[in-house]
Amino acid sequence: MQQPEERDEVEMLSLMLLIRRFEERASQQYQAQKIGGFCHLYIGQEAVVVGAIAAIRPDDYVITAYRDHAHALARGTSANACMAELFGKATGCSRGLGGSMHYFDKERHMYGGHAIVGAHVPLACGLAFACKYREEDRVTLCFFGDGAINQGAFHEALNLAALYKLPVIFICENNLYAMGTSVERSTALKEIVDRAEGYDIPGVIADGMNFRDVRDKLAAVVKSIREDPHPAFVEVRTYRYRGHSMSDPASYRTKEQLEKYRMDDPITRLRAQLTREGKLTHEQFDELDKKAKQAALASVKFAEESPEPPIEELYNYTYAP
């Protein structure tokens, strides 16, 4: 089987570029009022999900909160299906009925897209329990923000995961803010990773601006879980360049702070690493970026030309039959 470090890093860089260019287009289409409802962009955090995906197999499970475009794209859901979902079209990955916060792709084991902060953390335990019960060696990656760690559901889930030794990795994407509230104002602990210790779950910190650090830390955790099922916690330190959602001017933080993280951009960093090592030329990078931009643009055309879901669909899929 392919080992994580063998996953082509150039391919992973292209994936980060696709995510970034897709979201830039989504932002533009939102401003043009082609997209309704909420829309939370992931720009700046790309190395977190791409690093994590590089450490797992396609049959492992992924579940996340509402900042979910990147998680679906990283799992291989097409840019077309993702953009069509934002447009509320029938060709979207949730048939146009979910929108930005409720992406879903069962075939690729991407189990949402969940809008209630912390509510999907127990669901991750359910997914992991199912895998363990069926004696499969799959791991479940559960992504959530720094804002979720003070929710009751989060604590109940970690406790049960530890008791049942569930093969689940809790990945806290610590981007320093939950809406406009900084993590220092919401959380008494200095280091979020210490939350795991209270449940006897091993914890590790990864640099979310560095693809290789995220991939390598995750790969080590995944390896130990496959050998002997247990939960783990990874705090990934990252930053979102945009506001919480499209309607947030992000005036609660300084220009200097944003600039500091932009200078440490995850795409620029991986590009520089690969260029320095002679694995990527400037021309090749430009070509990858051009392809990502074309895919994002084509997804807008696809979404625009796709049909609306039929009105009879409106009340379908709300409850399981």
State the residues that interact with ligand TPP by CB under 6 A: 67, 115-117, 145-148, 175, 177-179, 244
CB of 164 to ligand TPP, least distance (A): 25
Q: Which does 306 bind (CB under 5 to 8 A by kind): ligand TPP, Mg ion, none?
A: none
Give me Rg for the CA atoms of the chain. 19
Residue 125-164 contact track with Mg ion, rule CB under 5 A, x = bound: --------------------xx------------------
Q: Which amino acid is at 219?
A: A
Nearer to ligand TPP, 180 or 202 (CB): 180
Strand partners, 182: 177
Q: Which does 117 bind (CB under 5 to 8 A by kind): Mg ion, ligand TPP, none?
A: ligand TPP
Partner in contact with 244, chosen from Mg ion, ligand TPP, none, beta carbon below 5 to 8 Å by kind? ligand TPP
List, in sequence order, the alpha helices (H) in the chain.
9-31, 46-53, 69-75, 79-86, 120-133, 152-163, 183-186, 194-197, 211-227, 255-262, 266-276, 282-305
Contact 19, 74 (CB under 8 A): yes
In terms of DSSP bridges, do strands 140-145 and 232-237 run parallel, antiparallel, or are they unpaired? unpaired
Q: Looking at beta carbons, which residue is closest to Mg ion?
A: 145
The contact pattern for Mg ion, residues 261-280, with x = CB under 5 A and - = no contact, is --------------------
CA 198 to chain centre: 25
* CA distance linking residue 226 with residue 250, whole number of Å: 41
Residue 196's binding partner, choosing from ligand TPP, Mg ion, none, with beta-carbon cut-off 5 to 8 A by kind? Answer: none
Place of tokens 């790969």: 219
List the single partner that 179 binds among ligand TPP, Mg ion, none, CB under 5 to 8 Å by kind. Answer: ligand TPP
The whole-angstrom separation of Cα 123 and Cα 140 is 10
Within 180-239, which residues bind Mg ion (CB under 5 A)? none
